[in-house]
Structure 1
Amino acid sequence: MLFLPNDESSKLLAMANSRAVHLEVADDHAVSDEDEPMRRFLAGQPPVDPDNYPTSWRQWEDLVAETTARGVAVQRIRVVTEPLTDYIRFLHAISGRNEQYGEDIRWLPRHTVDPAEYTTDEWWLLDDDILAWTLFDSAGDFVGFAVTRDPVEVVRAIGVRDRLWVKAVRHSDYVPETIG
């Protein structure tokens, strides 16, 4: 297993030749570069302040644009609890921007899928032969990936991806359940 630290995370998508799928299952993360955009969102303001745009967001957008320009499909499945937490509502509000740079984002309400059909880990699956678990520190910040080519783990992730992708709803079509 290889540890790929956060500051080298662009190397992960460079390993993909045709498809990179990200599974997200947590209803909350405490990612420090999202604090101000999240505060703005909860205050009813646009999450993104053009004068204070998070550097890591621009880096991600550039990486996705470069990756999709190489012909790699960048896809994301978010398994979410409805009604959505504030954090997931925030992610939903900003996901259109991610799609502008080439990501295909899908949403899957947790109550519509059997818990046995997915994992509680978040990960990336690249080209059906590389699995990279997403790692966070105790404060919730992303620290890197644990990367493996273990065929047992990769096949398990392929099964999860294939079961969930067909059930998940395109971002543009997803209308989250709201309270009341």
Structure 2
Amino acid sequence: MAEPVGRVMSSNVPSFAELFRDCEHSAVHLEMRDTYAVDYEKSGFAAWQQGHRLNPDDRASWWRPWLDLVSETVARGVAIRRARIVSEPVTDYIKFEHSGTFTNIEAGEKVRWLPRRRASDLSLPGNDFWLYDDRLVRFNHFTGEGTSLGGEMVDDPAVVELCSSAFEAVWERATPHRDYEV
């Protein structure tokens, strides 16, 4: 079966560094899972479960390549926003994510949280995504346990519009990170 027009398979998905480098105005990210099991977070999540917390004053211990990329992109004038839809009470993973979100904010992202019960009447795509400059969507695919299956690029205008309107609806209802308590 042929792939629909406007889709690029996982093997051809540009890196986040490439996508951010080419981004000119905005990058928005919608997260809708209550747990992720991505390899690069496993040790940090395990340490958090054992009581370790990031020290905001010890930037060298938590500043990493992702935050450099975000910071450099924001410095070029690109607005980066992240919205998270979460079930309440939140999972331990969301508590972990919330406790480390100050790093994203320090890098220049704006972050908001929306309880899932307040999203019931919103039209949302079936997967987490990044939307670049309101023209290009990178869907993130995961297994049921939260392991990454890679990404998919879509530039179909109808899909771009769905993702843009979904993100803006979530953003409008969501609570800024500084005011959201887990």
Query: Shared fold by TM > 0.5?
Result: yes
Aligned to 1:79: 85
Aligned to 1:42: 49
- TM-superposed deviation, 1:4: 5.9
Instruction: State the secondary structure of the residue aligned to 1:75.
Output: strand
Q: Which of 166, 169, 174 lines up with 1:168 in the alignment?
A: 174
Q: Which of 13, 21, 26 lines up with 1:14 in the alignment?
A: 21
Query: How many matched pairs?
Result: 172
Q: Which of 142, 147, 151 lines up with 1:145 in the alignment?
A: 151
Q: Which of 93, 103, 108 lines up with 1:97 in the alignment?
A: 103
Q: Which of 67, 70, 73 lines up with 1:64 in the alignment?
A: 70
- TM-superposed deviation, 1:138: 7.5
- TM-superposed deviation, 1:140: 3.6
Instruction: State the secondary structure of the residue aligned to 1:105.
Output: strand
Give the partner amino acid of 1:104: K
Residue ranges of structure 1 left out of the alignment (5+ in a row):
none
Give the partner amino acid of 1:70: R
- Counterpart CA distance in 2 for 1:165 and 1:98 is 17
- Counterpart CA distance in 2 for 1:111 and 1:136 is 22
- TM-superposed deviation, 1:7: 8.1
TM-score normalised according to structure 1 size? 0.85
Residues 7, 154 of structure 1: alpha-carbon distance in 2 compared, 3 angstrom cutoff: closer
Q: Is the 8 A contact 2:127 2:141 kept in 1?
A: no
Query: Is structure 2 residue 110 aligned with structure 1 residue 119?
Result: no
- Counterpart CA distance in 2 for 1:138 and 1:175 is 26
Instruction: State the secondary structure of the residue aligned to 1:166.
Output: helix
Residues 119, 7 of structure 1: alpha-carbon distance in 2 compared, 3 angstrom cutoff: closer
TM-score normalised according to structure 2 size? 0.84
Residues 2, 14 of structure 1: alpha-carbon distance in 2 compared, 3 angstrom cutoff: farther
Query: Is structure 2 residue 163 aligned with structure 1 residue 154?
Result: no
CA root-mean-square deviation? 2.4
Give the partner amino acid of 1:39: A
- Counterpart CA distance in 1 for 2:172 and 2:153 is 25
Aligned to 2:33: 26
- Counterpart CA distance in 2 for 1:98 and 1:121 is 21
Aligned to 2:4: none
Residues 144, 42 of structure 1: alpha-carbon distance in 2 compared, 3 angstrom cutoff: same
- Counterpart CA distance in 1 for 2:15 and 2:181 is 35
Deviations 1:102-141 (A, max 9, x none): 0111100111122543233100111111111013467744
Give the partner amino acid of 2:97: L
Q: Structure 1 residues 90-99 or 135-144, which shifts more?
A: 135-144
